[in-house]
């Protein structure tokens, strides 16, 4: 089955980031990702999708990949891998960090994407997930737009609440470690009005922290009954060739892991 055509709608989020609301959201996400990734140590990191956000910009890991479902990307964002999001071309337990900026909201099979992320992470490896919060003013505006046809956010996304996301991660033995909500301004279309409501960022963090338009969740892969001795990032990463579709490249590796990971 070819998933590429089903996952291309995430491309619609790229142009949205060039709108005033999109730039407001992108700046907030970039700052949070920089804070989180700067404190995560290891050797191998991967960002899946949405090259408009430099999710690994502040990471100090020596090996970093940016992947997408199709070649292309924004100027300055070099895509090093193209692959099916539900079939990652890496060996099991080989990555220290995976960043998923809005991928689950636009993936045809978000559960399978998360299962693959869990597979490729080392024990105690980490995943950072960005998403739109449906329990926010932006989420409410989007729900109304589905009825009126006047969408504020890209219409192809299936936005996932934080409690629901936590349930998915728990099923995969991934423990939420840190999280942030942000972008409390009303869903304004112009930069002028977004700037006028910027004061709500500090107020929102203090008084209504769960109603930010965006969230960033950081989770750690836990392996029951395993105690790590020494650095956990010594496992080699499967070699991949830059710019070459990798969907079929790792079929043997994926098939060997089917029985274990479903």
pLDDT value at position 247? 40
pLDDT surpasses 70 at 228: no
* Calpha distance 23→53 (Å, rounded): 11
Q: Strand 214-221 to strand 174-182: parallel, antiparallel, or no bridges (unpaired)?
A: antiparallel
pLDDT of residue 21: 92
Q: Which domain holds residue 202?
A: 4-261
What pLDDT is attached to residue 79? 66
Q: What is the pLDDT of residue 152?
A: 83
Confidence of residue 71 (pLDDT cuts 50, 70, 90): low
The model's pTM is 0.79
Sheet of 214-221, strand order: 81-82, 63-68, 44-48, 95-101, 121-132, 214-221, 174-182
What is the 3-state secondary structure of the chain? CCCHHHHHHHHHHHHHCCCHHHHHHHHHHHHHHHHHHCCCCCCEEEEECCCCCCCCCCCCCCEEEEEECCCCCCCCCCCCEECCCCCCCCCCCCEEEEEEECHHHHCCCHHHHHHHHHHHEEEEEEEEEEEECCCCHHHHHHHHHHHHCCCCCCCCCCCCCHHHHHHHHHHCCEEEEEEEEECCCCCCCCHHHHHHCCCHHHHHHHHCHHHCCEEEEEEEECCCCCCCCCCCCCCCCCCCCCCCECCCCCHHHHHHHHHHHC
* Res. 107: pLDDT tops 70: yes
Q: Does residue 243 have a pLDDT over 60?
A: no
| Residues 171 and 213 sit within 8 Å (Cβ to Cβ) | no
Number of domains in the chain: 1
Query: What is the mean pLDDT of the segment spanning 216-231?
Result: 77
pLDDT on residue 146: 72
Q: CB 35: neighbour CB atoms within 10 A? A: 13
Lowest mean pLDDT among 105-114, 210-219, 244-253: 244-253
Give the confidence band of 225 by pLDDT, cuts at 50, 70, 90: low
Closest CA to 87 of 54, 45, 127, 120: 120
- Contact assessment for residue 128 and residue 218, using Cβ atoms and an 8 Å cutoff: yes
Q: Please choose, from the candidates 67, 49, 57, 56, the residue with its C-alpha nearest in 3D space to the C-alpha of residue 96.
A: 56
pLDDT score, position 202: 75
Two structure tokens written together for 214? 């965006």
What's 180's domain CATH number?
A: 3.40.50.150
Q: Which of 47-51, 118-122, 153-157, 244-248 has the lowest mean pLDDT?
A: 244-248
Is residue 249's pLDDT more than 50?
no
State the average pLDDT for the chain.
80
| pLDDT > 90 fraction of the chain, expressed in percent and rounded | 48
Lowest mean pLDDT among 53-57, 68-72, 147-151: 68-72
Least confident of 80-94, 189-203, 239-253: 239-253
pLDDT-based confidence at residue 68 (cuts at 50, 70, 90): confident
């Amino acid at each position: 089955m070819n998933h590429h055509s089903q996952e291309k709608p995430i491309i619609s989020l790229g142009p949205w980031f060039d709108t005033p609301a999109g730039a407001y959201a992108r700046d907030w996400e970039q700052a949070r990702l920089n804070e989180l990734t700067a404190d995560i140590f290891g050797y191998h990191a991967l960002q899946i999708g949405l090259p408009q956000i430099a999710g690994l910009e502040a990471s100090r890991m020596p090996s970093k990949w940016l992947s997408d479902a199709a070649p292309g990307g924004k100027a300055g964002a070099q895509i090093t891998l193209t692959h099916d999001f539900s079939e990652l071309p890496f060996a099991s337990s080989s990555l220290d960090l995976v960043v998923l900026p809005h991928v689950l909201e636009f993936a045809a099979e978000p559960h399978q994407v998360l299962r693959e992320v869990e597979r490729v992470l080392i024990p105690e490896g980490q995943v950072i997930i960005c998403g739109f919060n449906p329990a926010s003013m932006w989420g409410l505006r989007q729900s109304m737009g589905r009825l009126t046809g006047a969408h504020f956010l890209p219409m192809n996304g299936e936005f996932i609440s934080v409690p629901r996301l936590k349930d998915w991660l728990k099923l995969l033995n991934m423990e939420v470690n840190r999280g942030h909500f942000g972008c409390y301004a009303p869903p304004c279309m112009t930069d002028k009005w977004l700037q006028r409501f910027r004061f709500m960022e500090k107020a929102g963090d203090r008084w209504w922290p769960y109603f930010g338009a965006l969230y960033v969740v950081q989770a750690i892969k836990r392996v029951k009954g395993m105690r790590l001795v020494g650095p956990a990032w010594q496992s080699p990463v499967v070699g991949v060739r830059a710019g070459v579709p990798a969907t079929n490249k790792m079929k043997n590796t994926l098939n060997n892991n089917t029985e274990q990971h479903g």
